[in-house]
Amino acid sequence: MLPRDNRLRRPAEFDHVVRQGRRAASKTLVLHLVGGSPSGCVKSELMASPRVGLVVGKVVGNAVQRNRVKRQLRHAARLRLAQLAGLSVVIRANPASASATSAELRRDFDRCLARTRDGSR
């Protein structure tokens, strides 16, 4: 589990990151990234914290598969929290993520993160 200060929780926060952020996609996931804190965040200490949200829909698979993918993506994000300082990130899982290994998900997360940080799509 990510610490509370490092999670996107409100629908408006997710919406802000998805609509305003840069995007990079891979076979297993789509990563949306925006600098700064999402609107609606008023605590100053949260503005410097990286914020991460996950979107794993039913298209990924049954509840067991979705929860496994969420655990793996949370772990990948937790490993990169230092690199995400001051950023808000939404990770959306694609159907291929259900059959991907943890290493593949981490690799795709890192590649998408590098592409969004560089500004390329």
Please name each of the domains of the chain with its CATH number.
4-118 (3.30.230.10)
Say yes or no to pLDDT of 39 above 60.
no
pLDDT of residue 118: 79
| % residues pLDDT > 90 (the chain) | 76
Say yes or no to pLDDT of 90 above 50.
yes
Q: Are 98 and 29 in contact (CB under 8 A)?
A: no
Give residue 2's pLDDT band: very low, low, confident or very high (50, 70, 90): confident
pLDDT of residue 46: 47
Give the CA distances from residue 102 to residues 48, 58, 74, in Å, rounded to whole numbers and listed in that order: 28, 19, 11
CA distance 32 to 97: 16
CA distance 64 to 7: 22
Residue carrying structure tokens 């891979």: 26
Give the CA distances from residue 94 to residues 22, 25, 74, 113, in Å, rounded to whole numbers and listed in that order: 18, 9, 15, 16
Q: Are 121 and 22 in contact (CB under 8 A)?
A: yes
Q: What is the pTM of this model?
A: 0.86
